[in-house]
Amino acid sequence: RLFHQYHKTFAPLNFSDYEAISRCEQEVPEYFNFASDVLDKWSQVEEERKGPSNPALWWINGKGDEIKWSFKELGFLSRKVANVLSGPCSLQRGDRVLVILPRIPEWWLLNVACMRTGVTIIPGTTQLTAQDICYRLLASKAKCIITTDELAPAVDSVASKCQFLKTKLIVSESGRAEWLNFSELL
């Protein structure tokens, strides 16, 4: 079915507050956090609504595997990831984290978790070389890097040059020496 024919079916929420802000009819909040001010509100609306809800995240890989998370599930998981960032990774508001991940669900979880905690996320493409990674780590003064098995060797080859880098977190089924494992911590 064509999406545009059913647009009213897919937009059950009232966005008048956000539209009013964009038209300068309403004050922008002094402290705005997308995770708590938008995602958590949608979770609340989803909980109050009867019947099935639209997924907040619907991810399908090239093999046809899929993950569907409701707003409530995305909120819950992002809070768990926020705890990983502020706990074992020792990140605080204002710290920077370089995230080099392919398009996998963990990428979205990390984005929302960084918003929740006030950690600045620096996204990077998986095509970065060791030299590119080193430059970004030095220029950003990132305290943490998050990547996969494929790029971990490149990170390890330059980590000693990056004095601000304190934590390496790997999104992998297996462990790696001197790296925290995202799945285990979650």
| 152, part of any domain | yes
Higher pLDDT, 70 or 111: 111
Within-domain flag for 23:
no
The H or E element containing residue 98 is strand 96-100
Q: What is the pLDDT of residue 31?
A: 78
Does 177 reside within a domain? Answer: yes
- Note whether residue 174 is domain-resident: yes
Considering the entire predicted model, what is its pTM?
0.79
Angle in degrees, 0-180, between the axes of helices 105-117 and 71-86, rounded to the nearest 10: 70
Q: How many domains is the chain built from?
A: 1
The domain that holds 175 is classified in CATH as: 3.40.50.980
With respect to residue 25, please indicate whether it lies within any of the assigned structural domains.
no
- What tens digit of pLDDT does each residue of 126-181 get? 999 999 999 999 999 999 999 999 999 999 999 999 999 999 999 998 889 999 99
15 within some domain: no
Distance, in Å, from the CA atom of 5 to the CA atom of 147, rounded to the nearest integer, reads 40
Instruction: State the average pLDDT over residues 108-134.
Output: 95
Is 116 within the bounds of a domain?
A: yes
Higher pLDDT residue, 36 or 5? 36
pLDDT of residue 129: 96
Rounded (5°) CA angle 64-127-82: 70
Angle at 78 between CA 97 and CA 67, to 5 degrees: 110
**Looking at the domain assignment, is residue 21 inside a domain?**
no
Q: What is the pLDDT of residue 89?
A: 95
Structural domain span for residue 120:
34-181
